[in-house]
Structure 1
């Protein structure tokens, strides 16, 4: 019997919590503003990525670009893949559900949605536990579950965050999208 959606959510929750706690403990002087779980279009087990104000300043200087050019890019973050040893045990659970694109037409979309819901549930639980801050502190962190170049990322961000947390993200994403 393959792992259920709840099994996936529980495993991602445990792994992401451990990875994020390591990140916050290892970088106590950083002010993190973005924490995301990323998976490719095949919806494999996720990778953690995050940005802090300090890391953005350093990385944009290193790359010779404007901070806004990379501010919301999970891939450009020096914290992309952080806590990989915590996330690695989650992957076999996703694999046990089968290859997404080996499923019959119509079934792969449902499986894709199930996997993303499990990741979103995990991040929502971490938020409810106060891992991303509480009150006004929570309003300074954007939490997402992303699939690069796929639709649905915005909807998940809107569900996972209080509106106050999304003010800059929404404005800056619009600027980036429309040049």
Structure 2
């Protein structure tokens, strides 16, 4: 896109995260992620809280004693997947126009897709540096990462982004999420 795209993603993500905190002040958010699709036409936020996870597990009839890490870590299963996401609409429109237009020939798509992923990681890094997700012990309660919906490259991107974005203890918990 352009050099300021990461900042634009960060601004949209900040609006989303603050709106979620305001709408659900009694919930304990443990994860916030940005995801895209394999066609690089979207950037979408997703968040989950301990309370949201419990509601999803109850709705899906998954007992508290059952290991079901997909409910904890798969953004498509989260209580706040694409919630409060209106601020992302202009970004998604621009991405779709760019991908479908003549600017990105097929031979350059891979580079464009990698750049988008880097911008998404950078957006979360900027917000983390600004303290949006807390500091110290409060920051260690939330995991940040970037993913791709329904894509074989999702787990590698999740792991790479989580390593970059989180304190070591948070990353260690995340990397063992499916163990």
* Offset, 1:167: 3.0
- The range that moved more, 148-157 or 34-43, is 148-157
Asked if structure 2 preserves the Cα contact closer than 8 Å seen for 1:8 and 1:93, the reply is: no
Report if aligned partners of 2:162, 2:174 keep a CA contact under 8 Å in 1: no
Q: Which residue of 2 aligns with 1:60?
A: 57
The structure 2 residue matched to 1:103, chosen from 101, 105, 116, is: 105
Q: What 5-or-longer segments of structure 1 have no aligned partner?
A: none
Deviations 1:3-48, CA, capped at 9 Å, x for gaps: 41x2321211111110110001111111111100111111123111
Structure 1 Cα separation of the partners of residues 50 and 172 of structure 2: 16
Q: Distance in 1 between matches of 2:81 and 2:13?
A: 13
Q: 1:153 aligns with which of 151, 158, 167?
A: 158
Task: Tell me if the contact between 1:36 and 1:143 (Cα under 8 Å) persists in the aligned partners.
Answer: yes
Q: The residue matched to 1:159 in structure 2 has which SS?
A: helix
Normalising by structure 2, report the TM-score. Answer: 0.87
- Aligned structure 1 segments of 4 or more residues deviating by more than 4 angstroms: none
SS in structure 2 at match of 1:152: helix
For the aligned residue pairs, the C-alpha RMSD in angstroms reads: 1.9
Between the aligned partners of 2:7 and 2:96, the Cα distance in structure 1 is 16
Q: 8 Å contact 2:9–2:91 — kept in the other structure? A: yes
Question: Across the two proteins, how many residue pairs are aligned to each other?
Answer: 170
What's 1:71 paired with?
Answer: 72
Residue aligning to 1:18: 15
Q: Is the 8 A contact 1:12 1:90 kept in 2?
A: yes
